[in-house]
Amino acid sequence: MKHLFGAVEEAAAAIRTAINSVTPRVGIILGSGLGDLAHEIHQPIALPYADLPHFPRSTAAGHAGRLMVGKLGDTGQSVVALQGRFHLYEGWNAQQAAFPVWVLNQLGVNTLLVSNAAGGLNPRYQVGDVMLIDDHINFMFQNPLRGVNDDRLGPRFPDMSAPYDQPLMELAEAVARREGFFCPRGVYVGMLGPTYETRAEYRMARRLGGDAAGMSTVPEVVAAAHCGMRVLGLSTITNACSPDQLGETTHEEVIAAAASAGKKLQAIVEAVVLASS
């Protein structure tokens, strides 16, 4: 992590200059197929990642690759959204994938909403369901905190016993009850990718306690825990991963299925923004 703080500060300074006096307290990472939520940000200031110092480039389909600051929906509250993220399967390391989280924290963000598209391991889940991430398993076997720690960003050994915020999950559950949709808690299994899992890998992940599997999120949540942010994780179930009835999965189908859960996600996100601002 040597020289990381300087890079984070430089990126944050460039963003501050572009957004003037706006100080968003809530950050949102929009995953595969979920970028349309950015349309609910009014009068946005949009900054392409290519224009921000030290930001990687987003190459995954469905990821616009820009940072947006504006007021979310009817909340009237300022948020900063990452329309696209960085995956290890694209060739980035875990620290590069997590880099924007440290930048958001330097901007004043103390609550992070992380969304992703995930395959449903739990047989109760159906395509279009939204799962609250209650915990995760890191099968990427990479950690963004590897290397020399910089105490200005966070402690050497951050606690990971509860990286996902309990009150925020309770708020999301209350929204789901009010709106009448299924929103279970579950364990997210972070896989390296880019291949979708084999039948044997799905069986392994399920037996180890996994409820949904995807190729992102874990490095970002580790970085958020490192700098003391509250985190709400949301997985949209985009395909059923039954090992005994496994069909072919395409990325286009995943994006389409993720987009179908947009209204559910928006309701949760707006409630969290109102409660956190």
Q: Report the SS3 class of residue 46.
A: strand
**Which residue of the set 78, 105, 216, 276 is catalytic?**
216
Read off the pLDDT band of 249 (50, 70, 90): low
Q: Which residues contact 247 (CB under 8 A, 6 or more apart)?
A: none
Q: Which domains does the chain have, with CATH numbers?
A: 4-276 (3.40.50.1580)
* Active-site annotation holds for 256: no
* Active-site annotation holds for 13: no
Give the helix/strand (H/E) hosting 104: helix 94-106
How far, in Å, CA of 196 to CA of 74, rounded?
A: 38
* Active-site annotation holds for 90: yes
pTM passes above 0.85:
yes
Asked if residue 87 belongs to a known ligand binding site, the reply is yes
Asked if residue 21 belongs to a known ligand binding site, the reply is no
- Position 40 scores a pLDDT of 87
**Average pLDDT value over all residues in the chain:** 90
Give the helix/strand (H/E) hosting 70: strand 66-72
Name the DSSP letter for residue 157: S
pLDDT digits (tens, 9 = 90+) for 46-90: 999 999 999 988 776 555 789 999 999 888 899 999 998 999 999
How far, in Å, CA of 52 to CA of 14, rounded?
A: 7
How far, in Å, CA of 121 to CA of 5, rounded?
A: 38
pLDDT digits (tens, 9 = 90+) for 7-60: 999 999 999 999 987 889 999 999 865 677 888 898 899 999 999 999 988 776
* Active-site annotation holds for 93: no
Q: Which residues contact 159 (CB under 8 A, 6 or more apart)?
A: 225
Query: Please, are residues 105 and 15 in contact by the beta-carbon 8 Å criterion?
Result: no
- Residue 147 pLDDT exceeds 80: yes
Range 88-104 average pLDDT: 97
Range 126-150 average pLDDT: 96
